[in-house]
Amino acid sequence: METSGTMDVRTVCLGMLTDGAASGYDLKKHFESTFAHFFAAGYGSIYPALSSLCEQGMVNCECIPQDGKPDRKVYHITAEGRTFLLKALENPTPCHKVRSEFLATMCFAHLMPDAQIEKVLDSRLEDCAYYTKMISEVEASCMQDWPPGKRFVAGFGKAMIEAMKTYVEENRHLLTEESASKSATG
């Protein structure tokens, strides 16, 4: 596996596994909690990533028998995986890109009725409240044990979410037809 300096699902999984062995389910829960505000990954990308990492010797997989269930697969990072991860972390210019269905939708707000725009904006504000609460709960429960990088990311996430919330609240009037026509004539 060659490194291109990108932080893809495989590389993030390797990073998570430096905290200890984990199953695909454990990693998905991690993506849904501490990584939810900046890096999305589901089973459809996590399990293929783990399979690829296994094939390339970056992780080992231990099958743990369970009563009445399929074996639980627990993954451990290998020395080769750690070396690969450390090499990927050498990238001095990691990309910071935002893929936002919300922003894509708002680009076409002029095609939407005001009620739908309001519904989308209210939903975005609800999401902001959810993520703020989730990050705060994670911080309160275990952040004191986190390394500085994870604390930085949590704080960055809170700042981004607060900025988004403030921007939506202060600028939502720009998206409704009534307000747009008032500003065009006023």
175 and 119 together in one domain: yes
What local confidence, expressed as pLDDT, does residue 3 receive? Answer: 43
Per-residue pLDDT, 182:
44
Domain count, the chain: 2
Q: Which pLDDT score is estimated for 1?
A: 43
CA distance 136 to 147: 17
Task: Report strand pairing: 59-66 vs 69-77.
Answer: antiparallel
- Crossing angle for the helix pair 43-55 and 9-17, nearest 10 degrees? 70
The pLDDT of residue 180: 54
CA distance 181 to 16: 50
Identify the domain boundary among 23, 58, 88: 88
Q: How far is CA 27 from the centre of its chain?
A: 12
Regions of the chain where pLDDT drops below 50: 1-4, 179, 182-183, 185-186
Q: Which domain holds residue 46?
A: 9-88
Closest CA to 34 of 123, 136, 162, 124: 136
Phi first, then psi, for residue 64 (nearest 5°) are -110, 115
Whether residue 141 is contained in a domain is answered as yes
Given 63, 88, 113, the domain boundary residue is 88
CATH of the domain at 42: 1.10.10.10
The answer to whether residue 163 is domain-embedded is yes
- 40 and 68 in a single domain? The answer is yes
Q: What is the reported pLDDT for 135?
A: 82
- CA distance linking residue 147 with residue 151, whole number of Å: 7
| Domain identity same for 33 and 69 | yes
Q: Which of 58, 88, 118 is the last residue of a domain?
A: 88
